[in-house]
């Protein structure tokens, strides 16, 4: 388990001690040396954990050996052996870090206790070393996270006093400065699937583009890990110079070779970046948001953006009402043309705030969806509401959002058409079932139309298209069919049957029955009875 070295110039003492230790600790490997020089040679070839050394030896004595071992990174546990009780020897040995000072001769009990004590000390040292290494490793992992958190709080303007001084210690010598934001529009590529590696690749390339002398510091936002924040000293690096912008543009193109799409945005310059960084950060973040309109893989500065007059929203256009008509008419091409017009008008006189624009389009789409709620199935309607809100809030780019909205309108029109057809089939079935169950009641076209939420003329047309005859004809035929059943299967008198099937005038019942079947109700009953008797 441990390697132990005995250093003694007397062979009898050296061999006797080796035998004693081997009996007590058979798993130890015991080495022997006759003086300090020999001991150093052995220790050069073997890792020695414990050294038992005599004091008085030729060439190099025990105390000289101990002094040499002090220079070792991990010196062994030291035990001094002596036949003398000299105080000065013991004092010197203790100053050199000796674990034990043993007087010869050494008995078994003393050696056993000494070795047990040494093992406990070594185990405690090993445990302490492991704990220290764990603590250092944990600190090494935690410190960058803490520093990043500190930097995030700094650019958001949440630090003051001593916390700002703490930030200042982490920064290069920056006085005047600006914030550069780099957004990775997709953290995954065909080359790299590890997001941490992707972020490090982008960070290294951005820092390389700025140059080693730029005096910059970079970190990622905690709430949006796809955005790299770089605070740059404008005293050391003219970030708006043609040369630097060209290098940044080259960085964007190089990232495309890794199938990574990045966009950069510049904040305003601060005279005192330590205390004013949040203003530059806010401006850079605002500039970055305009990639929604301008597209990705570019460098954006607020100075380059022509804002809408109010930067707020946004005017209601007649196209909104026309859009409702187009959906109502199931005219897909017209609906898409109108939504494109609405989109394009919003950016024709400057760019609105991206979030305001999204809210505006969301309002329009929710208005359309709510308007046609009654002609959609409930599950589809709820899902469409959720999808509409998610699409508007999470859309990354103007053109993508416009295409998505167009697809949604297409799908909605198809669904409305299908639902209308299905509802029409269900309505006519329900209507015919109602007549079948209530034919004896006073049924009128107007009341039936109202029951199924149609105006009278449309319901009359709709009923005839779906059944081939008018409502009044269908009701009459249903009543007459029921009358035949009563005549065949009951003993009711003709005037009783007439009332049972909804005729108030028996003569009128006789007349329309004969017109429909060529015989009177009485004659029909007689014929039906004769046919029934003949079958028997």
Predicted pLDDT at 182: 95
Higher pLDDT, 78 or 512: 512
Instruction: Give the pLDDT band (50/70/90) at residue 79.
Output: confident
pLDDT in tens, 81-92: 876 655 455 545
pLDDT in tens, 96-107: 456 677 787 888
Strand ranges of the sheet holding 299-301, from the earlier edge strand across to the other edge: 216-220, 227-233, 177-184, 262-266, 299-301
Closest CA to 384 of 359, 362, 358: 362
Average pLDDT over residues 299-308: 83
Average pLDDT over residues 426-441: 87
pLDDT in tens, 494-507: 999 999 999 989 99
What's the CA angle centered on 256, arms 253 and 257, to 5 degrees? 100
Where helices occur in 439-520 by DSSP H, the ranges are 445-451, 456-467, 471-489, 494-500, 506-517
The DSSP letter of residue 374 is G
Average pLDDT over residues 512-528: 89
pLDDT in tens, 469-484: 999 999 999 999 999 9
Instruction: Give the pLDDT band (50/70/90) at residue 238.
Output: confident
The DSSP letter of residue 469 is S
pLDDT in tens, 357-416: 999 999 999 999 998 887 787 888 899 999 999 988 889 899 999 999 999 999 999 888
Predicted pLDDT at 534: 67
Predicted pLDDT at 473: 93
Q: Are strands 177-184 and 227-233 parallel, antiparallel or unpaired?
A: antiparallel
129: preceding bond cis by omega (within 30 degrees):
no
> Is 0.85 topped by the overall pTM?
no
State how far the Cα of 512 lies from the Cα of 160, in Å rounded to an integer: 98
Strand ranges of the sheet holding 100-103, from the earlier edge strand across to the other edge: 29-33, 3-7, 50-54, 77-82, 100-103
Closest CA to 219 of 231, 229, 206: 229
pLDDT-wise least confident of 174-183, 351-360, 478-487, 524-533: 524-533
162 by Cβ neighbours in 10 Å (0-12 / 13-18 / 19+) ranks as: exposed
**CA-based torsion, 169, 153, 177, 247: positive or negative:** positive
Predicted pLDDT at 424: 67
Q: Is the pLDDT of residue 327 over 80?
A: yes
Name the token pair of 357: 């624009």
Predicted pLDDT at 481: 92
Name the token pair of 480: 């007459």
Q: At what angle do helices 332-346 and 398-438 cross, to 10 degrees?
A: 140
Q: What is the DSSP string of 91-140?
A: HHHHHTT-SEEEESS--HHHHHHHHHHHHHHHHHHHHHHHHHHHHHHHHH
Q: Is the pLDDT of residue 139 over 50?
A: no
- Contact, 471 vs 460, CB < 8 A? yes
- Contact, 167 vs 151, CB < 8 A? yes
- Contact, 313 vs 359, CB < 8 A? yes
pLDDT-wise least confident of 189-203, 292-306, 519-533: 189-203
Q: Are strands 77-82 and 177-184 parallel, antiparallel or unpaired?
A: unpaired
Residue with tokens 């005038």: 505
Average pLDDT over residues 205-215: 86
Residue with tokens 């005279």: 271
Name the token pair of 379: 């599950």
Q: At what angle do helices 378-394 and 354-371 cross, to 10 degrees?
A: 170
Instruction: Give the pLDDT band (50/70/90) at residue 123.
Output: confident
Instruction: Give the pLDDT band (50/70/90) at residue 140.
Output: very low
State how far the Cα of 266 lies from the Cα of 519, in Å rounded to an integer: 96
State how far the Cα of 391 lies from the Cα of 396, in Å rounded to an integer: 9
State how far the Cα of 70 lies from the Cα of 386, in Å rounded to an integer: 74
- Contact, 408 vs 361, CB < 8 A? no
Q: Is the pLDDT of residue 488 over 70?
A: yes
Three-state secondary structure readout of 283-336: HHHHHHHCHHHHCCCCEEEHHHCCECCCCCCCCCCHHHHHHHHHHHCCCHHHHH
Q: Are strands 100-103 and 50-54 parallel, antiparallel or unpaired?
A: unpaired
Average pLDDT over residues 266-293: 92
The chain-wide mean pLDDT, for the chain, equals 84
State how far the Cα of 172 lies from the Cα of 434, in Å rounded to an integer: 85
Instruction: Give the pLDDT band (50/70/90) at residue 438.
Output: very high
Q: Are strands 299-301 and 227-233 parallel, antiparallel or unpaired?
A: unpaired
Backbone angles phi, psi at 22, to 5 degrees: -65, -35
Residues ≥6 apart with Cβ < 8 Å to 492: 486, 500
Across 42-79, b (16+ Cβ under 10 Å) vs e yields bbeeeebbbbbbbbebeebbbbebbeebeeeeebbbbb
């Amino acid at each position: 388990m441990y390697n132990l070295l005995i250093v003694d110039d007397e062979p009898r003492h050296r061999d006797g001690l080796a035998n004693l230790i081997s009996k007590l600790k058979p798993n130890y490997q015991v080495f022997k040396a006759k003086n300090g020089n020999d001991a150093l040679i052995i220790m050069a070839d073997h890792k020695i954990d414990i050294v038992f050394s005599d004091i008085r030896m030729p060439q190099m004595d025990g105390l000289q050996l101990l002094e040499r071992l002090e220079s070792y990174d991990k010196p062994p546990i030291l035990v001094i052996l002596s036949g003398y009780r000299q105080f000065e020897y013991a004092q010197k040995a203790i100053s050199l870090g000796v674990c034990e000072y043993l007087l010869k001769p050494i008995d078994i009990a003393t050696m056993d206790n000494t070795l047990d004590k040494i093992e406990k000390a070594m185990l405690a040292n090993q445990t302490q070393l492991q704990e220290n290494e764990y603590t250092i490793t944990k600190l090494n992992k935690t410190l960058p996270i803490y520093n990043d958190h500190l930097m995030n709080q700094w650019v958001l303007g949440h630090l003051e006093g001593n916390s700002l001084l703490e930030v200042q210690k982490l920064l290069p010598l920056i006085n005047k400065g600006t914030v550069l934001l780099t957004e990775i529009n997709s953290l995954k590529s065909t080359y790299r699937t590890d997001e941490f590696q992707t972020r490090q690749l982008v960070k290294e390339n951005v820092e390389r583009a700025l140059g080693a002398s730029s005096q910059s510091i970079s970190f990622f936002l905690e709430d949006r890990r796809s955005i790299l924040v770089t605070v740059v000293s404008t005293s050391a690096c003219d970030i708006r110079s043609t040369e630097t912008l060209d290098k940044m543009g080259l960085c964007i193109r190089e990232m495309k070779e890794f199938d990574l799409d990045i966009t950069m945005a510049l904040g305003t310059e601060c005279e005192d970046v330590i205390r004013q960084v949040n203003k530059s950060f806010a401006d850079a973040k605002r500039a970055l948001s305009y990639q929604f309109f301008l597209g990705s893989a570019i460098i954006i500065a607020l100075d380059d953006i022509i804002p809408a007059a109010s930067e707020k929203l946004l005017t209601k256009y007649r196209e909104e009402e026309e859009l409702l008509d187009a959906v109502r008419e199931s005219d897909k091409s017209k609906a898409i043309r109108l939504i494109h017009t609405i989109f394009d008008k919003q950016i024709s006189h400057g760019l609105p705030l991206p979030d305001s624009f999204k809210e505006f389009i969301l309002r329009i789409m929710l208005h359309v969806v709510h308007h046609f709620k009654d002609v959609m199935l409930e599950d589809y309607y709820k899902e469409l509401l959720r999808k509409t809100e998610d699409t508007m809030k999470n859309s990354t780019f103007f053109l993508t959002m416009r295409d998505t909205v167009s697809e949604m309108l297409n799908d909605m029109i198809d669904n409305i058409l299908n639902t209308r057809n299905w509802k029409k089939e269900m309505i006519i079935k329900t209507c015919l079932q109602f007549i079948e169950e209530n034919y004896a009641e006073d049924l009128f076209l107007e009341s039936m139309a109202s029951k199924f939420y149609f105006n009278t003329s449309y319901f009359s047309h709709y009923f005839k298209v779906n059944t081939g005859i008018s409502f009044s004809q269908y009701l009459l035929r249903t009543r007459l069919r029921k009358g035949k059943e009563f005549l065949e299967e009951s003993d009711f008198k003709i005037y009783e049957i007439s009332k049972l099937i909804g005729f108030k005038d028996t003569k009128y019942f006789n007349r329309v029955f004969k017109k429909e079947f060529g015989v009177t109700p009485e004659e029909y009953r007689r014929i039906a009875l004769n046919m029934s008797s003949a079958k028997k």
